[in-house]
A and B are shown apart, each in its own frame.
Chain A
């Protein structure tokens, strides 16, 4: 089946530094959803990207969908300790079925 890879697997940053996670697929993605999972918590929906080249912003978070719809990225500007968690991208497939990426775990220290 389709595999959605994310890089890096883990990143440790100082508070105030920027952070980017990349989501890549060998096949064309349908739509991309991004989720955040806090340590010990459950995935929580952040956003959905639908169109080729789409860019969406949520405060310090910027989400982008590649022109060829084979990749996506999440960029956080000036990270805060509240950004700690694992960020997953997910490709929407048939009838609401999601294929989750491998996730990027973000650690932020003061």
Chain B
């Protein structure tokens, strides 16, 4: 398996433009996560899906951000309109989901290489 695939790897855009980030999770994984990483705020969870359904979007900064997962092998994170403060590295991660029957034991998350977004 190629692992989690993200595109593009780098994106430079101007303020006000729409940005779409793409992710292909590992086949068979039930969970998909979108994170944002900045020096100031560290690694933040934006939204995650279980079986293509958004479960928790409380980390999405504002209405300019939206995420979709139309099928098990594809997800997008869209920013419209983009602003300079959105500049960050955006990671997608996938996970097989819960493991263990008697002791809650959560599976590891597999991260993609990230998209470095620069909004001028």
Residues of A bordering B, CB below 8 Å: 30-31, 33, 41-45, 48, 50-51, 88, 92, 94-100, 102-103
Contacts and interface: CB of A to CB of B under 8 A. Distances in A.
A95 B50 contact: yes
A45 B33 CA distance: 15
B48 A43 contact: no
Contacts of A51: 103
When A and B form their complex, which 9 residue pairs have the shortest distance between CB atoms, in order from nearest? Answer: A45-B108, A42-B111, A92-B106, A100-B43, A96-B31, A43-B111, A96-B106, A96-B95, A42-B114
Given A42-B91, A42-B112, A42-B114, A99 B106 contact: no
A31 B109 contact: no
Contacts of A41: 113
B112 A96 contact: no
A50 B105 contact: yes
B118 to A, nearest CB: 15
Contact of B55 (A42, A48, A95, A98): A95
A96 B97 contact: yes
A88 B43 contact: yes
Q: Chain B: interface secondary structure?
A: strand
Interface of B: 31, 33, 42-45, 48, 50, 55-56, 91, 93, 95, 97-98, 103-114
Given A31-B104, A42-B91, A50-B103, A98 B109 contact: yes
A10 B6 CA distance: 29
B106 A33 contact: yes
Given A33-B109, A48-B105, 10 more contacts: A33-B108, A43-B111, A45-B108, A45-B109, A48-B106, A95-B98, A96-B97, A96-B107, A96-B109, A97-B48
Residue from the set B106, B111, B112 with the largest chain A CB neighbour count within 10 Å: B106
B43 A103 contact: yes
Interface centre among A88, A96, A98 (most CB of B within 10 A): A96
